[in-house]
């Protein structure tokens, strides 16, 4: 399976331009599975909730319509972030879309910082879908700080984790993605954005450094802190089914959950 990330700097408040960038990347990556950043269509730093609402869209909606057309041409599947609107409720969501259309939508469970003002936490749990017989899970950005999230995916047989992000804490996500991949023996595709956004005198700088991680924690592809990049790597998802650390130690079967409860 060929997996890829598309690290770029979405233009805040310019969804049409951002959608076009996503469609172009889907054509160029030649990947079976492409991961794009969190809130790829809108940008991240909303000055207020009305701004978030004005940039939110339904699923299906304008972004999925454009990218579905591209996915049909390329035969690829994309995981990308957008602000989702359902009725009066906004979610920080990641959409999985392939040649046959929308596969699923994941609504971010663990909201970060001011996201808690604009969005409602996800209400459907963690997402798992299948591609070419491979079990794939989706987490969004700050979900990475909760080891239970990744472990719950591993316990359900997930082999590859897609991780659309807008990371601002230096090296946090890059470090934890390696740890989560290693402790669960799963491939991990972290797609972060880069660049800076401002609201009056306040600013956010995004850390870039997207990466693809092997189940043993090895970095297979890694971007710079700044600049657009598409990196495509061929992986063998079967490697993520091997949970033995030694012939006597199995990462999942050796768990002692009776001692983990508080």
Of the candidates 84, 115, 135, 141, the residue annotated as catalytic is 141
Could you tell me if residue 40 is left (phi over 0), alpha (psi between -120 and 50 degrees) or otherwise beta? alpha
Annotated catalytic, 191?
A: no
pLDDT, mean of residues 7-18:
98
Q: Where are the alpha helices (DSSP H) in 86-232?
A: 115-118, 147-155, 172-184
Q: How distant, in Å, are the alpha carbons of 67, 165, 234 from that of 41?
A: 11, 13, 27
Q: Evaluate if residue 262 carries a pLDDT over 80.
A: no
Q: For residues 252 and 242, is the Cβ–Cβ distance under 8 A?
A: no
Beta-carbon count within 10 A of 98 CB = 21
For residue 4, what pLDDT band results from cuts at 50, 70 and 90? Answer: very high
Annotated catalytic, 38?
A: yes
Nearest to 33 by CA among 79, 66, 87, 84: 79
pTM (global) more than 0.95 = yes
Which domains does the chain possess? 2-259 (3.60.110.10)
Of the candidates 84, 108, 115, 135, the residue annotated as catalytic is 108
CA pair distance 11, 99, nearest whole angstrom: 26
pLDDT given for residue 23 in this prediction: 98
pLDDT given for residue 242 in this prediction: 97
Tokens found for residue 216:
């043993």
In what helix (H) or strand (E) does residue 62 lie, and over which residues does it extend?
A: helix 62-74
pLDDT given for residue 149 in this prediction: 98
Nearest to 111 by CA among 166, 41, 184, 172: 166
Question: 110-169 pLDDT, tens per residue?
Answer: 999 999 999 999 989 999 999 999 999 999 999 999 999 999 999 999 999 999 999 999
Q: Judging by DSSP bridges, how do beta strands 33-35 and 77-86 pair with one another?
A: parallel
Annotated catalytic, 108?
A: yes
For residue 201, what pLDDT band results from cuts at 50, 70 and 90? Answer: confident
Mean per-residue pLDDT over the chain, rounded: 97
User: For the packed helices 15-29 and 62-74, what is the interaxial angle rounded to 10 degrees?
Assistant: 10
């Amino acid at each position: 399976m060929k997996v890829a990330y598309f690290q770029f700097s979405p233009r805040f408040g310019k969804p049409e331009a951002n959608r076009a960038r996503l469609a172009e990347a889907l054509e160029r990556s030649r990947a079976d599975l492409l991961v794009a950043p969190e809130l790829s269509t809108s940008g991240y730093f909303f000055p207020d909730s009305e701004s978030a609402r004005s940039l939110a869209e339904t699923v299906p909606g304008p972004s999925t319509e454009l990218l579905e057309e591209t996915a049909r041409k390329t035969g690829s599947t994309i995981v990308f972030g957008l602000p989702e609107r359902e009725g009066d409720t906004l979610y920080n969501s990641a959409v999985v879309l392939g040649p046959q259309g929308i596969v699923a939508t994941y609504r971010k469970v663990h909201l970060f910082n001011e996201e808690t003002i604009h969005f409602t936490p996800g209400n459907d749990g963690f997402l798992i879908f299948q591609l070419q017989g491979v079990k794939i899970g989706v987490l969004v950005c700050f979900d990475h700080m909760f080891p239970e999230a990744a472990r719950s995916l591993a316990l359900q047989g997930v082999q590859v984790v897609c991780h659309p992000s807008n990371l601002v804490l230096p090296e946090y996500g890059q470090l934890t993605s390696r740890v989560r991949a290693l402790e669960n023996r799963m491939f991990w595709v972290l797609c972060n954005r880069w660049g800076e956004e401002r609201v009056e005198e306040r600013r956010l700088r995004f850390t870039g450094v997207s990466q693809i991680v092997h189940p043993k924690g090895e970095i297979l592809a890694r971007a710079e802190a700044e600049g657009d990049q598409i990196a495509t790597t061929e992986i063998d998802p079967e490697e993520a089914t091997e949970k033995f650390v030694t012939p006597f130690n199995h990462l999942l079967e050796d768990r002692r959950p009776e001692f983990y409860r508080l």
